[in-house]
Amino acid sequence: MALISPWRADFPGILALEAEGQTYLDSAATAQKPQVLLDALLGYYATGAANVHRAQHLPGERATRAFEASRQDAAQWLNAASAEQIIFTRGTTESLNLLAYGLESQLPGDGQIVISAAEHHANLLPWQQLARRRNLELVVLPLDANGSVDLEQAAARIGPRTRLLAVTQLSNVLGRWQPLPQLLAMARAQGALSVVDGAQGAVHQRPDVQALGCDFYVCSAHKLYGPDGVGLLYGRGAALARLQHWQFGGEMVQDADYQQASFRPAPLGFEAGTPAVSAVIAFGAVLRWLGALDTNAVAAHESALHSALLSGLQARSGMRLLGAPQTALASFCIDGVHNADLAHLLSEQGIAVRAGHHCAMPLMKQLGLGGAIRVSLGLYSDGDDLQRFFAALDNALELLR
């Protein structure tokens, strides 16, 4: 398949895996990293590490400047109104836990938290546990046959008792964009807060948080070609001011006595302790690199590759595709074949795909499945990756049937 990625050569990890005979098709779990990330990490450590926001010496000032420049990069990349609206966290999971604690006092009893049936555990369990702590009702919006939230059913469920809506932008299982404009408008009409889980969506469509109009938007650097251990939490000014502090320690404090303390506002008030300095700096470099790419060319490549993936899958007999994926990934089962057996045989042939429940157990149960195989693409993926995958899939199916 002549689907060539002009960006593949920028990713030493994908080239190294290829040289080892590995075909990496698990980018939705974590993405490979561009050379600029490695250069930024080395540049930081090789010129002298220092802590941020607290040192009055040159290395400390340099680290702080670079760290805060990454916050500007993140704000620009998300189109946030200001860098003060960006909190660095450890990832999407921590961002969502921060919100579930930070908003607890804003969600009085007798209210509802609304999520969709397609949520990753990271955007289910923090809200489920909050609902249990505060005696709130957790309402789950059903999906249509394609895997999108059913808007009629959503309109019937989002009402005056809705205090918060938390939905994924792009399902990590179904590869389906959720109808965010309509859902967010429904939440706004009820005066409810809104949270968008952009862990997958941010990778395949550059977010514009102001155009979306959500209160909070979260994502992880490691899925976005950045380092692990870093995530973003964007909050609209007024919504951010409603967050209660949740982790306590160095740097987040304004004034402290033995018996009481006062805390800084966002973002620093929510970044207790030493942050992942090198990773945040490297993430800034990746965002600048991503920002300079031709987004139309990336979208065209990803779309052509995704179509080739779907048509190849649909051509195999006994194939059950989960939902109607629109971008970047596809999950499937094959009649009479256990997903773990298939993943094992694929792995034996050097094909790295994901198998299992994909951290979405309730969705899998609803689909009547114990698990599925997921193939997911990055901007470095190409037609040869797919060709190797399909050849290995056919071999494995021949053995299993």
Ligand X SMILES: Cc1ncc(COP(=O)(O)O)c(C=O)c1O
Active site residues: 359
H or E, element range at 64: helix 58-78
Residue 168 in contact with ligand X, rule: CB under 6 A: yes
- Stretch of 45-53, 195-203, 312-320, 368-376 contacting ligand X, by CB under 6 A: 195-203
Could you tell me the smallest distance in angstroms from the CB atom of residue 120 to ligand X? 4
Name every residue whose Cβ is closer than 8 Å to that of residue 237 and which is 6 or more positions away in sequence: 81, 82, 85
Q: How far apart are the first and last CA of the chain?
A: 27
Could you tell me the smallest distance in angstroms from the CB atom of residue 257 to ligand X? 35
Rounded to an integer, what distance in angstroms lies between the CA atom of residue 14 and that of residue 18? 6
x-or-dash string of contact with ligand X, 342-371, rule CB under 6 A: -----------------x------------
Contact 299, 293 (CB under 8 A): no
Over the Cα atoms of the chain, what is R_g?
A: 22
Residue 116 in contact with ligand X, rule: CB under 6 A: no
Could you tell me the smallest distance in angstroms from the CB atom of residue 400 to ligand X? 27
Q: Which is nearer to ligand X, 202 or 345 (CB)?
A: 202
Sheet holding 319-321, edge to edge: 319-321, 329-334, 372-376, 354-356
Structure tokens belonging to residue 175: 């590869």
Residue 381 in contact with ligand X, rule: CB under 6 A: no
Q: Which is nearer to ligand X, 63 or 199 (CB)?
A: 199
Contact 165, 189 (CB under 8 A): no
Q: Map residue 30 onto helix, strand or coil.
A: coil
- Stretch of 109-117, 119-127, 186-194, 297-305 contacting ligand X, by CB under 6 A: 119-127
Residue 123 in contact with ligand X, rule: CB under 6 A: yes
Residue 220 in contact with ligand X, rule: CB under 6 A: yes
Residue 148 in contact with ligand X, rule: CB under 6 A: no
List 197, 215, 382, 385, residue binding ligand X (CB under 6 A): 197
Q: Which is nearer to ligand X, 66 or 218 (CB)?
A: 218
Residue 92 in contact with ligand X, rule: CB under 6 A: yes
Number of residues that this document lists for the chain: 401
Q: Which is nearer to ligand X, 111 or 331 (CB)?
A: 331
Contact 284, 224 (CB under 8 A): no
Name every residue whose Cβ is closer than 8 Å to that of residue 14 and which is 6 or more positions away in sequence: 8, 24, 32, 378, 380
Could you tell me the smallest distance in angstroms from the CB atom of residue 269 to ligand X? 21
Kindly list the residues in this chain that would bind ligand X in the complex (CB under 6 A). 91-93, 120, 122-123, 168, 172, 197, 199-200, 220, 359
